[in-house]
Amino acid sequence: MNDVPDVSVNNSRFPGLRRRGFLAAAGGAAGLGALALAGCAGSGTAADPAKGDGKPKRGGRLRAAFAGGGASETLDPHLANLFADAARAKALFDKLADYGPDLSAQPRLASAWEPNAGMDRWKVTLRKAAFHDGKPVTAQDVLYSYRRIVDPAKAFRAKASLEPIDLKASRALDERTIEFVLKRPTAEFPNVLGAFGAYIVPEGLKDFDKKPIGSGPFRFVSFAPGESAVFKRNDAYWDGAPYLDELEFVVANEESARANALLGGQVEYAHELNPATARAYENKGQIQIVRLRNSAMQGFVMKTDRPPFDDKRVREAFFLLADRKELLDGALSGAGEIGNDLFGKGYEYYAGSLPQREQDLDRARKLLKEAGAEKLKVTLDTSPVAAGFTEAAAIFRDQAAKAGVRIEIRTGSKDSYWKDILDSGTLASYRSGAMPIESHISQRLLTGSTTNATHWRHKDFDALYQQAQSTKDKKDRAAVYERMQRRLHAEGGFLIWGFADWILGTAHSVRGVERKAPANSLDWARFDKVWLA
Amino acid sequence: MIGPRSWVARRLLLGVAQTAAVVLLVFSLTEALPGDAAVALAGDQPDPERIAAIREAMHLDRPAYERLADWASGLLHGDFGTSLASGRPVSSYIADGFGPTVLLAVLTMVLLVPAGVGLGVLAAGHEGRFVDRLVSSVTLGVYAVPEFAFGVLLVTVFALRLGWLPPTAVGYGTDLLDHPAALVLPVLVLLSRPVCSLARLVRAGMIDALASPYVAQARRYGISGFRIRYAHALPNAIAPCAQQLARTVDWLLCGVIVVEALYVIPGLGTVLINAVAERDVPVVQGLAVVFGLTAVVLNLGADLVVHRLAPRAGVAA
């Protein structure tokens, strides 16, 4: 069923709404012990009866500190690139859909979507919503926004995600209904509607920095690039007016500055803290630490089309070399969970039934011997482009040495790293933010994928993907995804050893911050459901 | 025979030549950097089509000499070009960052000169005794602490433990004067090392001057100790400090990145860091030219001041 029409269904698909209230109560009165527990368990176990201040309260200004992009920052939501951009865009604008805690598409401005039998034409109905200037959000606005994103003269990030849509043939059926014509069957089309940066702006709007008009929960007040953006409550918001009167985003690029500002009471919310900071303050009671699980995949990519990794026994041996716990503790200070060589732990369609892979040096040695790759020497490309990369590389080198594999680490330039490892080298450090498993496959694991860093190109695998995309029934589709993941788990090119937490800090007065919200999902950096006690 | 007039003219000409060299050097160095802005901007989405589109949008497909010619002729008219990342004029970036940086620099200098000179004179006046040893050892000790460590220490003690001062200037933007409390810690950090080096220089200069034959002669004439110390010895002791002060001002005006990052002050250092991170080449180049020019002008100024205070330096040069 792809039809998700009304609000009540919407709410039942948001189990987070109830948990949010509960967690806030636990954080509010139970004190530090319960708070720490809730932080660790993610959903919390200790019920706290003192719900006195668990009820949302209106008013106040929340200041949120993010790392920013300096004086080049813009409020154009289609140019969003940094977390700060995405958070500001989310406050001012809406997408047709967005990702829930399991990265499944949740309806936002779209109230319903219905495919034809061939899954290549989708009728999307808009809910009744208005832009900040009072004009209704119409099908024309949606088409304008999407056409602006795919403009070949621009390099908007969401362009690649909207690629399946034939926007020339797509049209408005009426004021609030759009028919999207797709280039091929796409059962997971709602994922496209929730793509990073695919925001809906009013038709014709071009100047975003002086007077951005969106349909989002907050209205624009002022913006100083690289310093601060002030927004105020949109009382007419379709999803309920926010509790906060005002929301201010401030920019502090240094992690220590964000932490100090939070500790010193200059901001109430600090995005992206280090594991060390989190540990130092987790039980001290000065601030609350929020860990967003499964936010960033961590691993290595093996090029499956060239020696030594064109032999699947070598790939399996490398899977078995990794001591995932040690990598997690060493490279991420333990702030995360171990991986099972599959993307998207905990997300929709994740093949959680596959056995957790453990380090097995004897079997790795045996596989390498069978493959004629004893005394193997491999170069591992890495770069300080993401937290923990160089540390993980050094740890993995030492782990591999125990099975007689010599890994030489080559540290590359930060600027060109992602391009460098796309086609050259054999083994490289890799990370990825949260996205639906289907997006991971279509962007990285098909013959025609533009960022296929493992050079995984198999016609039969492509065919399975197409089959999934033409399968209307969700259960059947899940079975196909499971088959694909089974194969990737056995012989794929992604050695995924962990998933990093995304760490936030908030003042004690801040309530309603969703904890089950991987970075980039709907509830991450979402301030319309947050209140100050 | 070279008159003082022509010495100044030669010094100015040298300054112009240095500026031209700075412009050329800045351009060729940024060109020589590995990777390119389009690749860096594409980040973890290195889709070749996306990179090509970014490259074209930024005119990176044009030859380097054409871009240099455009840029250099623009500079002559005060046009620094436009940012690749935002399309805003580079001059607006520089103007925005200049306010906070100049404010910090002025405050620091206003406190630095009396504090440094005062400590130096005080120590020299008590040469070898307790006050001198106290001043000397404390200044040596503080001088040895790097800015970032001192900054973190001050935040921890005065902002987080005692709660007397705000830990950062986050959210205050460029209106720092409206929030004087937020300026105390950054100015203290900026002062810490220059005060020490200045005090030590003045102390050494004063001791030298007080031991010199002309001071001995002045004493024989019966001139008061106060006058000897402040009207005769001090100007000679300060002359060597002019260059040191020029370097300090230069350091301050180029945006002290450590201090700006720690206290979230949106000055020139922050602008530079962001531009480098984003590979926003025109902004980096514009800043480099401004920084180069600042250094040239300040050194010129310092030379002229030294020339005035102690003419023998000019003769020696």
Supply the DSSP string of chain B, one letter for each residue. ---HHHHHHHHHHHHHHHHHHHHHHHHHHHHHSSS-HHHHHHTT---HHHHHHHHHHTTTTS-HHHHHHHHHHHHHTT---B-TTT--BHHHHHHHHHHHHHHHHHHHHHHHHHHHHHHHHHHHHTTTSHHHHHHHHHHHHHHTS-HHHHHHHHIIIIIIIS--S-S--TT-TT-GGG-THHHHHHHHHHHHHHHHHHHHHHHHHHHHHHTSHHHHHHHHTT--HHHIIIIIIHHHHHHHHHHHHHHHHHHHHT--HHHHHHHT--SHHHHHHHHHHTT-HHHHHHHHHHHHHHHHHHHHHHHHHHHHH-THHHHH-
CA A291 to chain centre: 14
Burial class (CB in 10 A: 0-12, 13-18, 19+), A308: buried
Q: At A413, phi and psi to the nearest 5?
A: -70, 140
End-to-end Cα, chain B, rounded Å:
14
Q: What is the pLDDT of residue A383?
A: 92
pLDDT at residue A33 is higher than 70: no
Q: What is the pLDDT of residue B3?
A: 62
Q: A97: pLDDT confidence band, cut at 50, 70 and 90?
A: very high
pLDDT at residue A7 is higher than 50: no
Q: At A364, phi and psi to the nearest 5?
A: -60, -45
- Angstrom distance (rounded) from CA A161 to CA B174: 38
Q: What is the pLDDT of residue A283?
A: 79
pLDDT at residue A139 is higher than 70: yes
- The 8 Å CB, 24+ separation contacts for B228-233 are B229/B121, B229/B125, B233/B206, B233/B209
Q: Tell me the nearest-neighbour CA distance from B110 into chain A, angstroms.
A: 27
Q: Using a CB–CB cutoff of 8 Å, tell me whether B284 touches chain A.
A: no
Q: What is the pLDDT of residues A406-417, one digit of tens each?
A: 999 999 888 788
What is the DSSP secondary-structure string of B199-215?
A: HHHHHHHHHHHHTSHHH
Q: Which amino acid is at B128?
A: G
- Angstrom distance (rounded) from CA A338 to CA A327: 9
Q: Which amino acid is at B100?
A: P
pLDDT at residue A484 is higher than 90: yes
Instruction: Name every chain A residue with its beta carbon within 8 A of the beta carbon of B280.
Output: 72
CA dihedral B237→B240→B242→B243, nearest 10 degrees, is -170
Q: A49-58, A68-77, B156-165: lowest mean pLDDT where?
A: A49-58
Interface of A with B in 249-268 (CB under 8 A): 250-254, 256-258, 260-261, 263-264, 266-267
What average pLDDT does range A111-129 have in this prediction? 94
Q: Using a CB–CB cutoff of 8 Å, tell me whether B256 touches chain A.
A: no
pLDDT at residue A470 is higher than 70: yes
Q: A41: pLDDT confidence band, cut at 50, 70 and 90?
A: very low
CB spacing of A416 vs B47 below 8 angstroms: no
Task: Indicate the residue of B45, B266, B279 with minimum beta-carbon distance to A226.
Answer: B266
CB contact set of B131 (below 8 Å; sequence gap of 6+): B122, B123, B125
Q: What is the pLDDT of residue B35?
A: 62
CB spacing of A419 vs B46 below 8 angstroms: yes
Sort residue A19 into left (φ over 0), alpha (ψ -120 to 50) or beta. alpha
Q: Tell me the nearest-neighbour CA distance from A530 into chain B, angstroms.
A: 20
Q: A28: pLDDT confidence band, cut at 50, 70 and 90?
A: very low
CB spacing of A418 vs B86 below 8 angstroms: no
Cis peptide before B266 (omega within 30 of 0): no
- Angstrom distance (rounded) from CA A126 to CA A138: 7
Q: A205-219, A360-374, B35-49, B271-285: lowest mean pLDDT where?
A: B35-49
Nearest CA in chain A to B258: A254
Query: Which residues partner with A496 through β-bridges?
Result: A299
Q: What is the pLDDT of residue A208?
A: 87
CA atoms within 13 A on the CB side of A100: 18
Share of chain A above pLDDT 90, in %: 72
What is the DSSP secondary-structure string of A498-512?
A: EEEEEEEEE-TTEE-
- Angstrom distance (rounded) from CA A204 to CA A225: 23
Instruction: Name every chain B residue with its beta carbon within 8 A of the beta carbon of A418.
Output: 42-46
pLDDT at residue A2 is higher than 60: no
- The 8 Å CB, 24+ separation contacts for A305-312 are A305/A455, A305/A457, A306/A426, A306/A455, A307/A426, A308/A371, A308/A373, A308/A376, A308/A378, A308/A426, A309/A426, A309/A427, A309/A493, A311/A371, A311/A373, A312/A490, A312/A491
B16's tokens: 């112009």
What average pLDDT does range A294-319 have in this prediction? 94
Share of chain A above pLDDT 70, in %: 90
What average pLDDT does range A139-158 have in this prediction? 90
Helix, strand, or coil here: A46? Answer: coil
Q: Which of A516, A525, A102 is nearest to A345 (CA)?
A: A102
CA B205 to chain centre: 23
Q: What is the pLDDT of residue A74?
A: 86
Instruction: Name every chain A residue with its beta carbon within 8 A of the beta carbon of B83.
Output: 71-72
- Angstrom distance (rounded) from CA A289 to CA A506: 7
Q: What is the pLDDT of residue B58?
A: 66
B91's tokens: 């001059």
For residue A146, how many other CB atoms are within 10 A of its CB? 23
For residue A111, how many other CB atoms are within 10 A of its CB? 22
Q: What is the CA radius of gyration of chain B?
A: 24
Instruction: Name every chain B residue with its beta carbon within 8 A of the beta carbon of A260.
Output: 155, 159-160, 167-168
Q: What is the pLDDT of residue B41?
A: 67
Q: At A341, phi and psi to the nearest 5?
A: 60, 20
- Angstrom distance (rounded) from CA B39 to CA A56: 45
Q: What is the pLDDT of residue A522?
A: 94
The verdict on pTM exceeding 0.90 is: no
Q: Using a CB–CB cutoff of 8 Å, tell me whether A416 touches chain B.
A: yes
Under 8 Å between Cβ of B89 and B82: yes
Specify the residue for token string 């969401």.
Answer: A158
pLDDT at residue A427 is higher than 80: yes
What average pLDDT does range A515-521 have in this prediction? 90
Q: What is the CA radius of gyration of chain A?
A: 23
- Angstrom distance (rounded) from CA A391 to CA A474: 40
Task: Indicate the residue of B42, B51, B160 with minimum beta-carbon distance to A260.
Answer: B160
pLDDT at residue A308 is higher than 60: yes
- Angstrom distance (rounded) from CA B48 to CA A78: 19
Q: A39: pLDDT confidence band, cut at 50, 70 and 90?
A: very low
Residue A410 DSSP class: E
Nearest CA in chain B to A65: B170
pLDDT at residue A363 is higher than 90: yes
Q: What is the pLDDT of residue B303?
A: 81
Task: Indicate the residue of B50, B88, B278 with minimum beta-carbon distance to A155.
Answer: B50
What average pLDDT does range A488-510 have in this prediction? 95
Q: Which of A65, A92, A86, A78 is nearest to A228 (CA)?
A: A65
Q: What is the pLDDT of residue B37?
A: 67
Q: A26-35, A74-83, A444-453, A508-517: lowest mean pLDDT where?
A: A26-35
Specify the residue for token string 């409550």.
Answer: A233
Q: What is the pLDDT of residue B309?
A: 67
Q: Using a CB–CB cutoff of 8 Å, tell me whether A159 touches chain B.
A: yes
Averaged pLDDT of chain A: 87
Q: What is the pLDDT of residue B36?
A: 67
Instruction: Name every chain A residue with its beta carbon within 8 A of the beta carbon of B148.
Output: none
Q: Mutate which of A62, A210, A260 to disrupt the B interface (most B C-beta within 10 Å)?
A: A260
Interface of B with A in 185-244 (CB under 8 A): none
Instruction: Name every chain A residue with its beta carbon within 8 A of the beta carbon of B271.
Output: 70-71, 226
Residue ranges in chain B whose pLDDT is less than 50: 1, 313-317
- Angstrom distance (rounded) from CA B168 to CA B181: 10
Q: Which of B257, B294, B297, B282 is nearest to B91 (CA)?
A: B282
Structure ipTM:
0.76
Q: A18-22, A81-85, B303-307: lowest mean pLDDT where?
A: A18-22
